[in-house]
């Protein structure tokens, strides 16, 4: 089994933190996004979408999408549970993971890609033809980050962790987004005391540096 990874990117980081929390170590292969290794035919043969992470199983099957890779490991090794244990907690984890992906990650990605000269023709990840950046998506992305941070703070005022009383993949996902937001100079405002309390706690877990 091999994990195609890129140390600086937020999506593979979600998988690395998840594996660290499970106490699992697997072979990792660095795919250098800066030099476009992910767009080369060798990598597209593993993932035609041209994005990391990808988990390649021993039978050759390639699983893309970071949360799907997490799901695979959750099924292989259920302890400690990171994706819920019953109907309610599983649904809560799924819900907050999707908030992180759609309300958080995509907002930061829009703000970042559409404002960074190196991505002027790469407005979307992994595209095999030029995708022009769209300037209007920068402000929209920043506004969405603000809404996402507000929602996290509101939720964490009523709950220790995003999906409930225990740390889960929902927290891992949101942590990766909050750190990704630093790429566009957005940090948690001082007013968001509940989000800051949670952020300090989840960032202090040894897995956060995975
Ligand atoms: N939803 C996907 C997102 C994958 C993704 O966008 N990966 C980025 C790194 S975070 C990538 O490979 N980008 C390639 C590019 O920028 O062309 C997941 O969670 O795995």
Express each pLDDT in 47-96 by its tens digit.
999 999 999 999 999 999 999 999 999 999 999 999 999 999 999 999 99
pLDDT at position 120: 96
Give the ligand 1 atom nearest the CA of 122. Answer: 17
pLDDT at position 74: 98
Spacing, Cα 103 to ligand 1 middle (Å): 16
Rounded to whole angstroms, the Cα distance separating 87 from 189 reads 34
User: In this structure, which residue's CA is closest to atom 1 in ligand 1?
Assistant: 65
Band of pLDDT at residue 136, cut at 50, 70 and 90: very high
For residue 127, give Cα distances in angstroms to 111, 131, 132, 209.
18, 7, 11, 29
How many helices (H) and strands (E) would you count in the chain?
A: 8, 4
**3-state SS, residue 43:** helix
Q: What's the pTM?
A: 0.98
CA dihedral angle for residue 116, residue 125, residue 123, residue 119, rounded to 10 degrees: 30
Express each pLDDT in 89-135 by its tens digit.
999 999 999 999 999 999 999 999 999 999 999 999 999 899 999 99
Q: What is the mean pLDDT of residues 168-189?
A: 98
Identify the bridge partners of residue 114 per DSSP, sorted by sequence position. none
Give the ligand 1 atom nearest the CA of 52. Answer: 12
Helices within 23-135 (DSSP H only): 41-44, 66-76, 87-98, 106-113
pLDDT at position 152: 98
pLDDT at position 182: 98
- Percent of the residues in the chain that have a pLDDT greater than 70, as a whole number: 100
Band of pLDDT at residue 175, cut at 50, 70 and 90: very high
pLDDT at position 68: 98
Go through the domains of the chain in sequence order and give each one's CATH number.
Answer: 2-76 (3.40.30.10), 87-209 (1.20.1050.10)
- Which of 7, 8, 11, 127 should be mutated for ligand 1, with most atoms under 8 A from CB? 11
pLDDT at position 147: 98
Q: What is the mean pLDDT of residues 15-22?
A: 98
Band of pLDDT at residue 172, cut at 50, 70 and 90: very high
pLDDT at position 177: 98
Three-state secondary structure string covering 150-195: HHHHHHHHHCCECCECCCCHHHHHHHHHHHHHHHHCCCCCCCCHHH
- Which of 10, 125, 131, 169 should be mutated for ligand 1, with most atoms under 8 A from CB? 125
- Percent of the residues in the chain that have a pLDDT greater than 90, as a whole number: 100
- Which of 39, 52, 54 should be mutated for ligand 1, with most atoms under 8 A from CB? 52
Say whether the peptide bond before residue 136 is cis (omega within 30 degrees of 0). no
Over the chain, what is the mean pLDDT? 98
């Amino acid at each position: 089994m091999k994990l195609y990874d890129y140390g600086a990117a937020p999506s593979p980081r979600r998988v690395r933190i998840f594996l660290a929390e499970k106490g699992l170590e697997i072979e990792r292969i660095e795919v250098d996004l800066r030099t476009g290794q992910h767009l080369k035919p060798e990598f597209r043969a593993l993932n035609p979408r041209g994005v990391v992470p990808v988990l390649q199983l021993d039978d050759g099957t390639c699983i893309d999408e970071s949360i799907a890779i997490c799901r695979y490991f959750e099924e292989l090794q259920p302890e400690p549970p990171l994706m819920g244990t019953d109907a309610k907690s599983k649904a809560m984890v799924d819900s907050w993971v999707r908030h992180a992906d759609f309300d958080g990650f995509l907002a930061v990605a829009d703000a970042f890609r559409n404002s960074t000269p190196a991505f002027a023709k790469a407005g979307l990840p992994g595209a095999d033809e030029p995708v022009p950046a769209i300037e209007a998506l920068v402000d929209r992305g920043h506004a969405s980050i603000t809404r996402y941070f507000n929602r996290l703070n509101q939720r964490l005022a009523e709950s220790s962790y995003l999906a409930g009383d225990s740390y889960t993949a929902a927290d891992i996902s949101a942590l990766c987004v909050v750190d990704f937001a630093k790429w566009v100079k957005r940090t948690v405002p001082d007013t968001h005391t509940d989000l800051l309390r949670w952020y300090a706690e989840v960032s202090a877990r040894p897995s956060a540096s995975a």
